[in-house]
Structure 1
Amino acid sequence: MPNNSTGFWGVLRRPFVLDLRALALLRMATAAVLLTDLTIRSTDLEAHYSNMGVLPLSALHSYGWTAYQFSLHAASGLWQVQALLFIVAAALGGALLLGYHTRVATVGTWLLLVSLQNRNPFIGQGGDDLLRMLLFWGIFLPWGRVWSLDGRTQPAPSRYDYFSAATVAYIVQLALLYWCTALLKSGAEWTQTGTALYYAFSLDQVLLPVGRWLYPYPELLRFLTFGAYYTELLLPFALFIPVGVPWWRMLVVGVLVGFHLTISVTLFVGIFFLVNLASILGLLPAGVVDWLAHRLGPLAARIGRWRFRQSSWSLPWRLRLERTHPLSAAGRQRVRTVREAFVAVVLAYVCWWNLDDVAVLRPAGGIMPQPVRWFGFLLRVDQHWGMFAPTVFKDDGWYILEGTAADGRQLDLNRRGAPLSYAKPPSVVALFKNDRWRKYSENYLFVSNSWMRPFYCNYLLRIWHETPGHPPLRHLSVVYMKEVSLPDYKLATPVRQVLCECELPPASK
């Protein structure tokens, strides 16, 4: 829909007009992050998504399921079925990256991502919510119109500016993310004392070398704490200023790029920073995209000489999602009206959900009745932006997988069977294979999730005994060396906590 910037409504629409080329960059970046996420997850097909892993289907349905969820990944407990679904998701992600049958690829990647996230909700984080929402809103955005294989079969657009209910939803979604992230940080360490980053950098489970380098400077951490808090709280307002839109957009993009790159080098947050960096590319104003197009023109021309035989890859089932014959003017208007109305309804629901999620805004008892939450769970537009909120987690520590061999030796399975030692490792974060395992270990600690512990313990024993060369074990204890973060650089004495124990029967020793 072209942008008419004159008149009252034209001025109101200005902050929500996006460049089609910026949307193409958003599409490609979202697809790239999706493929990165699939690659990381694929290294744990059995552990995280099969009945032989830490969350068999029986446990999922008992402890992590609602009646309104769906998951193709939960149709089977075999890792081979998971591998097949991962391959399909990767193929659709590649199609989205290239802009090939973009609408089909977007719907398909969104469905499979929802399915995957529903299969194991105990390894999820805030970046997963944002990635899911980018794909959902992308279904209604023309992010395959240019810089795509689909675009090669269509005439070039007469103009690149575009406005619709989906562009409003995209920008409001970004604002909600940062507003709610700030408002959920209601603890005094964020709003009064400025010690939040001190405590965050006290968590060895997420601390990276740059964060360790900054940690000894309390005044700097105090400045960065308030800087992060007020950036999240105030910066989104710039997205709604109807004058000087390109300059405000560049301010938002520039600040957020620096913000998330800083997070990425100080704290171990998995794909969180990648999703956030990808999410802001759709904000790039026309002048910046013109500059990029000029610089990347030779590369695009070289790629454009590749002859892609689209007819040989036709999808017979695409008729339900993509129009193969032009609609009449009246038909186009009906489709547009239905689409815009649906997006508006979902956006209103998302705003309602976030308003209910923020304790400082909702009245006692909440504002969203339980009977209407099914819609959020079904479409997975439910979301929570509570990173380090309302206060920073203080219960730091490290895991020791304390195994007793049949010959009496004590080994640490978390360090590949090294002799048991209770000393703090030089790098606690290095004990985690990836951020999914770190998040799992975080959820594993909660008393409310104590049901997870036997499954994890049994999984550890099985994979240990299936590895050639490992001595047989007769006992395994999952031990957490709890080290509470104290103020003013004081050090707590680690406390040994046994979370779970497994004793092998005599026949298994």
Structure 2
Amino acid sequence: MHYLLLYLKKVFTVDVRALALMRIGIGFVILLDLGIRATDLEAHYANMGVLPLHVLFQYNWDPYFISLHAISGLWQVQAVLFLIAALFGFLLLIGYRTRLATIVSWFLLLSLQNRNLLIGQAGDDLLRMILFWAIFLPWGRFYSQDAKRANNLHPENLHFSAASAAFIVQIMLVYVCTALLKNSPEWHTTGTALYYALSLDQVLMPGGKLIYPYSGLLHFLTLSTYYIELYLPFVLLIPFYTSFFRLLVVGVLTGFHLGISVTLFVGLFYLINLVSFIGLLPAPALNWFDAKLLPHIQNLGYRLRRFSFNIKNPIQLRFNWQLPAARKAILIIVKEGFVISVLLYVIWWNFSNVPQINHPMPVSVRWPGMLLRVDQHWGMFAPEVFKDDGWYILEGVTATHKHIDLNRNGQPVTERKPESVVALFKNDRWRKYGENYLFVNNAFMRPYFCHYRLRIWNEAHRPEDKVSELQVIYMKERTLPNYQPVKPKREVLCTCSL
């Protein structure tokens, strides 16, 4: 038992300064995510949008979900909740009342994501899980307002607990499980997965266009991706030269996600992963940061404060949480036990999904996962890459009998593929919505999107340009092997009218 504890401390100890930098990054990501989502307050979160509350509860709701955002279908209520979330996201970023800010930010993120699962992606799950584990981590001990108020000149740098182990295991699960889920030959035998992924014009970025013609390179990158995801995370469990191996993992995965960011349109997925890696940085990297970069950052902060308002009497929340030592020890034991229990549950949840084990989690024990939203499925391009590609045409008929494409700002309808399919999407939330729109089991979505686009077009245009009928058309291209040309097939997914 003694040697096991020494091993666990060796591989699962984290530098609190790394956690603090990750906290700052997570706070920034929360604010950025809210900013992007706020541009679609009505469309994605109000009854006048694409998913009214009665539709959400009928088709896309779990009885154990919790969501403040589902208490009202008014966009104004959503705006208030967004502002509250932004406030606590900012408090998290600066490290003011960090634990409270973490708990509220996690809860409001959970609430927001539950309101509309049709626009969610894997990065949302990771962001939610990082915030959950961080509730039990001391990531406000450095580089924070809390640290200034504590006036502790020599805080402890290293931290080992069930939560630090859970954080590292969570990072490992993302990659190991996505590799196990990629059990089709295109990932580990034929090596054609990246060819198919870059054939999807809906996610193709300029970097992807650049490497797409080179089949040999795509074959190499496919196999590299699979084996990096499957084996590299286990390097974090090596109990010697841990600083070197942590830097190796962070460096490789950082390059991996930067490569994804320039080749595939994945929204904030790559950024959330990059921020999560900061928490893995070992002490030597943080020592370098403190010696070389921190003084310049502090100097910049001092200069900015010279031009800021001086708030002499800020509102401060004061609580007296002093507990007897015995009671404090009991609370620590309860906390550690709870975190270990949730971690084991999360591991069970993840591995019950992989085909190699083929042991699904019983429905009767899934409710805690849905309640706390520690449910997760890392099926990125798994088990195989989606082959049905294409683009949307929103064909509207005006009062003057013109056929215009609302998806291209009212230009005449054409079935010619646009130069950039990605450019047709306002953001990655709409791209994900468009992907879910195709599935037959999501057919309930279709009329609400059609009526929403019809309404907002008519509200913004003159009577002669208003549309009386709208067809949602998908020009489907089934990707074929070896760069074979394919003729798009026109599919009418929905028709609506005034």
Q: For this structure pair, what is the TM-score category when the shorter chain's length is used for normalisation?
A: over 0.9
The list of structure 1 runs, each at least 4 consecutive aligned residues, that deviate by more than 6 angstroms after superposition, is 307-311
Q: Cα 1:411–1:251, aligned 2, differ >3 Å: closer, same or farther? A: same
The secondary structure found in structure 2 opposite 1:403 is strand
Stretch deviating more after TM superposition (8-17 or 299-308)? 299-308
Mapped to 1, the partners of 2:112 and 2:310 lie a distance apart of 31
Aligned to 1:312: 314
Is 2:53 the counterpart of 1:57? yes
Mapped to 2, the partners of 1:314 and 1:64 lie a distance apart of 41
Aligned to 2:11: 15
Task: Kindly report which structure 2 residues correspond to 1:410-421, keeping only aligned pairs within 5 A, or say none.
Answer: 410-421=403-414
The secondary structure found in structure 2 opposite 1:483 is strand
Aligned to 2:283: 286
Counterpart AA for 2:256? F
Counterpart AA for 2:296? L
Shift, 1:400, TM fit: 0.2
**1:497 aligns with one of 488, 491, 496:** 491
Shift, 1:300, TM fit: 4.6
Task: Kindly report which structure 2 residues correspond to 1:158-197, keeping only aligned pairs within 5 A, or say none.
Answer: 158-197=155-194
**1:232 aligns with one of 224, 229, 232:** 229
Shift, 1:311, TM fit: 6.5
Mapped to 2, the partners of 1:12 and 1:163 lie a distance apart of 9
Q: Is the 8 A contact 2:141 2:155 kept in 1?
A: no
Q: How many residues in Structure 1 have an aligned counterpart in Structure 2?
A: 490
Stretch deviating more after TM superposition (471-480 or 92-101)? 471-480
Aligned to 1:454: 447
**1:203 aligns with one of 195, 200, 205:** 200
Counterpart AA for 1:116? L
Root-mean-square deviation (CA, aligned residues, Å) is 1.6
**1:81 aligns with one of 46, 71, 77:** 77
Is 2:474 the counterpart of 1:480? yes
Counterpart AA for 1:413? L
Shift, 1:331, TM fit: 2.3
**Cα deviation digits, residues 402-428 of structure 1 (max 9, x gap):** 011121110000000001111000000
Gaps of 5+ in 2: none
Mapped to 2, the partners of 1:304 and 1:286 lie a distance apart of 26
What is the percent sequence identity of the aligned residues?
A: 57
The secondary structure found in structure 2 opposite 1:33 is helix
Is 2:393 the counterpart of 1:400? yes
Task: Kindly report which structure 2 residues correspond to 1:315-330, keeping only aligned pairs within 5 A, or say none.
Answer: 315=317, 319=319, 324-330=320-326
Aligned to 1:259: 256
Aligned to 1:116: 112
Q: Cα 1:304–1:100, aligned 2, differ >3 Å: closer, same or farther? A: farther
Aligned to 1:151: 147
Shift, 1:315, TM fit: 3.0
Mapped to 1, the partners of 2:344 and 2:3 lie a distance apart of 26
Mapped to 2, the partners of 1:161 and 1:298 lie a distance apart of 22
Shift, 1:330, TM fit: 1.4
The secondary structure found in structure 2 opposite 1:479 is strand
The secondary structure found in structure 1 opposite 2:323 is coil
Shift, 1:110, TM fit: 0.4
Aligned to 2:36: 40
Shift, 1:503, TM fit: 2.5
**Cα deviation digits, residues 236-266 of structure 1 (max 9, x gap):** 1011111110011000000010000000000
Aligned to 1:372: 365
Aligned to 1:442: 435
The secondary structure found in structure 1 opposite 2:314 is helix
Shift, 1:343, TM fit: 0.3
Shift, 1:309, TM fit: 6.3
Mapped to 2, the partners of 1:441 and 1:381 lie a distance apart of 26
Shift, 1:491, TM fit: 1.2
The secondary structure found in structure 1 opposite 2:279 is helix
Gaps of 5+ in 1: 1-5, 505-509
**Cα deviation digits, residues 119-160 of structure 1 (max 9, x gap):** 000000000000000000010000001110001122134431
